[in-house]
Amino acid sequence: MAVKDLREWITRLDKEGELRRVAAEVDWNGEIGAITRKVYSKGGPALLFENIKGYRDTVSTKLFTGGVATKDRIAMMLDMPRQTKHRDLVEMVRQRAKKPLEPVMVKTGPVKENIRKGKDIDLFQFPVPHWHYLDGGRYINTFCGIVTKDPETGTRNIGLYRGVVLSKNEIGVLLVPGQGWGIHFLKWQQLGKPMPVAISYGWDETLVFCASTPFPRDADEYGIAGALRQQPVELVKCETVDLEVPATSEIVVEGTISTDPKDYKMEGPFGEYTGYYGEAAKRPVINVSCITHRDAPIFRGTLEGMDHSNPNEDSSILVISLSAIAKNILESQGVPGILEVSAVPITIVRIKKMFRGHAKQVAAALWGSSAAQYLFKFVIVVEEDTDIWNRRAVEAALSYRVNAAEDDIVIFPGSFGAVLDPSTRAEDRDELRFGTGKWSRILIDATRNWNYTKNPQWGGDIYPPRSTTLSPEEEALVARRWKEYGID
């Protein structure tokens, strides 16, 4: 059963032993980020900070994080058994996302319990952490759904894009023109008007799961969130902008972004998903026109940045959501023989090879999609006998099925790509100048090479059989006599 709001989700996590309430006083300045990093690295519980320094008598006194920081909790979000495997969650997301459930409008909801405008607007009333020690401020937009509309078509987009508190009523943002809201922004700019925006913090986690996933540009993330939770999203109208937000959100911030570059302000640095800091620059600003919130609202945030050996909340989400997206792209492009995809941070595609150049068709389809803005820098294609969720199996395919001198490695230079990847020169990552970053993409074709001569010694196959596989006779013999051996 879908939860109706963040509070019900917290209760469910608590019952299942997946939540810790932190009653000790903690500092929003560094300490919350440091605790969260330690907990994420261990695959630990979700955290509800209930006693935050300087936040005893404020509008919001509590911060929740890590709700979907593990595969098991993502399975719970989807109402699946906790032990469900990654590959089954990917398939579940893929299938549900294909059948969006229309959101429904309701007159009002708990998020309208308090409506703050004018002098009552104060973003510092929310316990926003200073997450990483070199961050350029307190990042309020780390786990939220940011709603905008295309001024020509009225198409809605919900994305997750970082934002820092600049003053009581200003949020500086990283706005990449190639992203969903960036495309809207360019259109508002052409009209010479500011772009309306609404931000929902603290609702069913499916919303941020969808907001952080590059679904096709015309898809409504509310519809997909409804499909994932198997219950339509109930929406209310905003107070000061023509946008809609979930009625049981904890907090909603409404405002506009000036499209005039002279209004841009310094934003950054910020500890990014890459595990490195992203640079500071002059960027667009959300001018807050209204804040609505529930009584005693719980603020929701997350600590970005993949630890290089351990998962965090966004990497746990993205390994499932982006793998689903990647397989859908290949399917919609009509690429045959696609068995499975694991997309983050390296994209590995398992195929039933059907023709020479099959792997190149896979890479071309992924590289041509709008989702490639942040994805598919490295694509590895393997055959059906390689388990893509097993690092050793993938390394074996790379070691013994790839020959760089035989066209198995393809470089696609000068492509668009992520603006936050520090392996690209900083001057090539100026999103406001170029609209995107600059990537040279790589395909490693780790499938058997059909140019090689078929070998009569191996029954006419190109490759020798695998010596690690038992013959059917051996398999049957050992299975039949296993108990007799007395080994276990």
Ligand X SMILES: Cc1cc2nc3c(=O)[nH]c(=O)nc-3n(C[C@H](O)[C@H](O)[C@H](O)COP(=O)(O)O)c2cc1C
Binding site for ligand X (CB under 6 A): 142, 157, 159-162, 174, 176, 179-180, 212-214, 302, 304, 314, 374
For 277-284, the CB contacts below 8 A with 24+ separation are 277/132, 277/134, 277/135, 278/174, 278/419, 278/420, 279/426, 280/136, 281/430, 281/432, 283/172, 283/173, 283/174, 283/175, 283/432, 284/172, 284/173, 284/175, 284/185, 284/257, 284/258, 284/259
Count of H-run helices and E-run strands, the chain? 12, 25
Quote the least distance from Cβ 254 to ligand X, whole Å. 19
- Between 257 and 381, name the residue whose CB sits nearer to ligand X: 257
Tell me how far, at minimum, the Cβ of 248 lies from ligand X, in Å: 22
Please give the sequence-ordered ranges of beta strands (E in DSSP) within 78-162, or none if there are none: 104-105, 114-116, 139-141, 144-149, 156-159
Q: How far is the CB of 157 from ligand X (least distance, A)?
A: 5
Tokens of residue 244, six digits: 């809609």
CB of 480 to ligand X, least distance (A): 51
Query: Any idea what the Cα angle at residue 132 is, between residues 126 and 136, rounded to 5°?
Result: 75
**179 or 256, CB closer to ligand X?**
179
The residue among 130 and 162 lying less far from ligand X, judged by its C-beta, is 162
Give me the least distance between CB of 295 and ligand X, in Å please: 27
174 vs 382 by CB, closer to ligand X: 174
Question: Among 250, 302, 205, which residue's Cα sits nearest to residue 9?
Answer: 205
Distance (Å, rounded) from C-alpha 264 to C-alpha 280?
A: 12
CA distance 41 to 313: 10
Minimum distance, C-beta of residue 318 to ligand X, in the bound complex (Å):
6
CB of 99 to ligand X, least distance (A): 19
**Which residue lies nearer to ligand X by CB, 18 or 272?**
272
Nearer to ligand X, 126 or 374 (CB): 374
CB 215 within 8 A of CB 265: no
What backbone torsions phi and psi does residue 68 show, to the nearest 5 degrees?
-125, 40
Minimum distance, C-beta of residue 343 to ligand X, in the bound complex (Å): 12
Q: Which is nearer to ligand X, 350 or 439 (by Cβ)? A: 439
176 or 233: CB nearest ligand X: 176
Whole-number minimum distance, CB 262 to ligand X, in Å? 22
Sheet holding 347-351, edge to edge: 338-342, 347-351, 378-383, 437-445, 409-417
Output the CA torsion sign for 230, 231, 232, 236.
negative
Residue number with the smallest Cβ distance to ligand X: 180
Strand runs labelled E in 88-212: 104-105, 114-116, 139-141, 144-149, 156-159, 163-167, 170-173, 195-201
Considering the complex, state which of residue 213 and residue 447 has its C-beta at the smaller distance from ligand X: 213
Closest contact distance (angstroms) between CB of 142 and ligand X is 5
Using an 8 Å Cβ cutoff, are 168 and 124 in contact?
A: yes
* φ, ψ dihedrals at 97, nearest 5°: -65, -20
Residue with tokens 């399975």: 75
Least distance CB 430 / ligand X (angstroms): 14
- Alpha-carbon distance of 267 to 259, in angstroms, equals 16
Min CB(314)–ligand X separation in Å: 4
Beta bridge partner(s), residue 278: 270
Nearest to 145 by CA among 101, 209, 196: 209
Buried b (16+ CB within 10 A) or exposed e, 370-379: bbbbbbbbeb
User: Tokens 């009225």 identify what position?
Assistant: 154
Nearer to ligand X, 383 or 431 (CB): 431
Least separation in angstroms between CB 426 and ligand X: 17
Give CA–CA dist 259/244, Å, rounded. 22
Give whichever of 179 and 323 is closer to ligand X, judged by the CB atom: 179
Distance of CA 120 to the CA centre of its chain: 33
Q: Considering the complex, state which of residue 221 and residue 250 has its C-beta at the smaller distance from ligand X.
A: 221
Instruction: For ligand X, give the closer residue by CB, 162 or 401.
Output: 162
Q: Assess contact for 346 and 444: CB atoms under 8 A.
A: no
